[in-house]
Amino acid sequence: QSVLTQPPSVSGAPGQRVSISCTGSSSNIGAGYDVHWYQQLPGTAPKLLISGNSHRSSGVPDRFSGSKSGTSASLVITGLQAEDEADYFCQSYDISLSARDYVFGTGTKVTVL
């Protein structure tokens, strides 16, 4: 049960800029919890791209950037490359009345045209 909403797919030509949104609510992103982003290549485990809303993991190219505002967050790829074709997930933490839980986005497939 994904609590964070992402667009199912985005696409762009090599060199273009694409943006992926991650929309939550007042019990997760809006409550101040950080958003983290993962890249998942076909048949592989997720790889942490960005943590704490905007901090790139070691070795991640600087064409990847993240931001957060209110109840939403965004991942931007500037200068899209063929190797960026993958699924991308956001993650945060939720503190609803009944439970505390890690929550993930619905996932976005990035296609390089």
Does position 5 bind another protein by CB under 8 A?
no
Single out the residue of 51, 54, 65, 67 in contact with another protein (rule: CB under 8 A).
Answer: 51
Does position 106 bind another protein by CB under 8 A?
yes
How many binding residues for another protein (CB under 8 A)? 27
- The Cα–Cα gap between 54 and 13 comes to 24
Does position 102 bind another protein by CB under 8 A?
yes
The order of strands in the sheet holding 64-69 is 17-23, 72-78, 64-69
Show the 3-state SS of 67-95: EEECCEEEEEEECCCHHHCEEEEEEEEEE
Single out the residue of 7, 12, 30, 46 in contact with another protein (rule: CB under 8 A).
Answer: 46
Residues in the chain: 113
**Which tokens sit at 45?**
């485990």
Single out the residue of 24, 89, 110, 112 in contact with another protein (rule: CB under 8 A).
Answer: 89
Does position 24 bind another protein by CB under 8 A?
no
- The Cα–Cα gap between 37 and 105 comes to 9
Binding site for another protein (CB under 8 A): 1-2, 33-34, 36, 38, 44-48, 51-52, 57, 89, 91-93, 98-102, 104-107
